[in-house]
Amino acid sequence: MYLKRKIDDYLLDWKANENRKPLIIKGPRQIGKTESIKKFAESHYESVIEINFVLSEKYKMIANDGYDADSIIKNISLIDPSHKFIPGKTLIFFDEIQEYPKIATSLKFLKIDGRFDVICSGSLLGINYRQIESNSVGYKTDYDMYSLDFEEFLWARGYDNKTVENMLEHMKNEEAFSELEHKVYSELFMDYCILGGMPAVVREFIENKTFEGTLEIQRQLIADYKEDIRKYAEGVDQTRILNVFNSIPVQLAKENKKFQLSKVEKGARFKDYRGCVEWLEDAGMVNLCYCLLDAELPLRGNYDEDKFKMYFCDTGLFVALLDDEAQEDLRANKNLGVYKGALYESIVAEALVKSGYGLYYYKKDNSTLEQDFFVRKADDLVPLEVKSKNGKSKSIKTLITGDKYEDISYGIKLCAGNIGMNDNLYTFPYYCTFLLKRYLNEK
């Protein structure tokens, strides 16, 4: 069962570009990169030459005689003479290039040669990306891929683009969803929160029409991520990176979700752990949300790099690390318990990253003023409030009305309720988060 992905259309556009460059598709493991590329390749090329640097170690020698196109092609054919290099009709697919980042040097020469299309893919590319970048600058195109977002999840459940467009129109017109619409979308979103967007987990749920078996897959993914840490991280950092990774649910369950080393190791020093945090971010396993110095534009350069919150790249991984009692209550009763606020904040952070936003929050010193997220629209800074329960939104209203915050004129609250607007505060259901960028661009 193939799950439709947004990269499908991107690949078609890439191939339609006569001046296309070799494409590098980046993203965490098990998000469907290889599956999507192979699906596209089988439909659009007469010959597909797949080189997997994990499964076939000998292919790590294909550049021994040089990085020029003829040398690469000669050595691939030497290893497997059945490969057919048909000019204009062949895709060379280098998979798992984190195992052999030097192959990126050949992209320049393959682009100049021009006879064959090239796509590269791999997990944990951020770890080795400086080498890939320097070896192929100007001769490649990058694409960041993620696990399924809520729109792709809706596609997987049988909903089409008309459903999404209808949701967007409700937002733009400030028109509340009907009781039935709200109930159905909320239930779908809760399923998505529990499952996350990893294709294997979503596919299991859809095929069996039950949560049974999904937790085992999620936990195996966690085990695979930890194995990657042991394989690719060096020395003592392995243990520290694993400690940070394992501490994320505890960090998010706190009322103050700012990352605290005391929750990782007693007496730990930040300088010993900074590299561990960066490793997880570079590996695509986590998303960092930085604390702004001031609630004003610009966002980049206006934050404290030592103050941040940390979220998993996929909320399903967060769910998989919860204790057994929470797991049973979550799947059987849809009860989020003490993790309610953490789960909704995490899923919103994930949706923002998948929409192309950076993550920023604000906590004013010596004050109760705190804001969950911010996004930028041209010259406007838009605060986002994630409400896990009914209550006043004091901080966001202070930001909207306060004379000190000149870049802020309105805000958005995300909650379990319906669409509404009051005093320049727009309210949307959680399940609309994936549409925020389109809404802000078109509103």
Give burial (CB, 10 Å; 0-12/13-18/19+) of 204. buried
Residue type, 323: D
The helix/strand/coil state of 117 is: strand
Q: Can you spell out the DSSP letters for 294-345?
A: SSSS--TTSEEEEEEEEEESSHHHHHHTS-HHHHHHHHHH---GGGHHHHHH
Say which residues have a Cβ less than 8 Å from residue 71's Cβ, sequence separation at least 6: 63, 65
The helix/strand/coil state of 90 is: strand
161's tokens: 């683009």
The reported pLDDT for the residue numbered 143 is: 95
Peptide bond into 249 cis (omega under 30): no
The reported pLDDT for the residue numbered 109 is: 95
The reported pLDDT for the residue numbered 123 is: 85
CB atoms within 10 A of CB 220: 14
CA-angle at 42, arms to 1 and 35, nearest 5° = 45
Q: Check residue 213 and report its DSSP letter.
A: T
CA-angle at 315, arms to 311 and 319, nearest 5° = 110
Q: Are 413 and 387 in contact (CB under 8 A)?
A: yes
Nearest residue to 357 via CA among 437, 442, 438, 443: 437
Separation of alpha carbons 46 and 89, rounded Å: 5
The helix/strand/coil state of 136 is: helix
Residue type, 32: G
Separation of alpha carbons 181 and 184, rounded Å: 5
Q: Check residue 364 and report its DSSP letter.
A: -
Separation of alpha carbons 343 and 50, rounded Å: 39
Averages of pLDDT over each 10 residues, the chain, 443 residues: 96 97 94 97 98 95 95 97 98 94 92 97 73 72 96 98 98 98 97 95 96 93 92 82 92 86 86 89 94 94 94 92 79 73 92 97 90 93 88 86 94 96 95 98 88
Residue type, 244: V
The reported pLDDT for the residue numbered 237 is: 84
Question: Which pTM value belongs to this model?
Answer: 0.94
Alpha-carbon dihedral sign for residues 166, 170, 173, 178: positive
- Tokens 């990269």 belong to 7
Separation of alpha carbons 387 and 369, rounded Å: 15
Separation of alpha carbons 102 and 111, rounded Å: 16
CB atoms within 10 A of CB 95: 21
Q: Can you spell out the DSSP letters for 295-309?
A: SSS--TTSEEEEEEE
Separation of alpha carbons 429 and 420, rounded Å: 9
Nearest residue to 238 via CA among 223, 227, 247: 227
The reported pLDDT for the residue numbered 107 is: 95
Query: Can you name the residues that pair with 386 across neighbouring β-strands?
Result: 414
What values do phi and psi take at 37, rounded to 5?
Answer: -65, -45
Separation of alpha carbons 67 and 109, rounded Å: 7
Q: Check residue 114 and report its DSSP letter.
A: -
Q: Are 193 and 315 in contact (CB under 8 A)?
A: yes
Say which residues have a Cβ less than 8 Å from residue 378's Cβ, sequence separation at least 6: none
434's tokens: 């994936």
